[in-house]
């Protein structure tokens, strides 16, 4: 029989600790939603630097893309296209 602490550590052993800012919590949420827990720091950085609306749109697109092998890659592709479109629309105005 396993101990409770051992079972908990087996379920999610690499989750970051000491999340004190809201963008850090949101970055962890993004990583876990996309199943890309190896890159927590990347998603935390994105949550800190970019608008939440754009991140949510890319996340929803990636979640709806059922045939993807890596939802993280789909998320990054969609985020790049959204940011490029945003940049072009600012320059055109």
Structural domain spans, the chain: 4-92
C-alpha distances in Å from residue 21, one per residue of 45, 47, 64: 12, 11, 28
Give mean pLDDT, residues 70-91: 94
Long-range contacts of 24-30 (CB under 8 A, 24+ apart): 26/52, 26/55, 30/55, 30/59, 30/75
pLDDT digits (tens, 9 = 90+) for 20-67: 999 999 999 999 999 999 999 999 999 999 999 999 999 999 999 999
pTM (predicted TM-score): 0.80
Please give the DSSP secondary-structure letter assigned to residue 73. H
**Which pLDDT score is estimated for 49?**
97
**Which pLDDT score is estimated for 8?**
65
Taking the CA atoms of residue 63, residue 65, residue 69 and residue 72 in that order, the dihedral angle to the nearest 10 degrees is -40
**Which pLDDT score is estimated for 90?**
86
**Which pLDDT score is estimated for 3?**
78
């Amino acid at each position: 029989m396993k101990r409770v602490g051992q079972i908990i550590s087996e379920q999610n052993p690499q989750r970051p600790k000491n999340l004190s800012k809201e963008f850090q919590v949101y970055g962890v949420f993004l990583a876990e939603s996309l199943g890309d827990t190896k890159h927590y720091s990347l998603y935390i950085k994105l949550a800190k630097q970019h608008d939440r609306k754009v991140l949510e749109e890319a996340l929803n697109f990636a979640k709806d893309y059922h045939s993807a092998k890596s939802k993280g890659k789909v998320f990054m592709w969609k985020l790049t296209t959204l940011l490029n479109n945003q940049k072009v629309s600012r320059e055109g105005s």
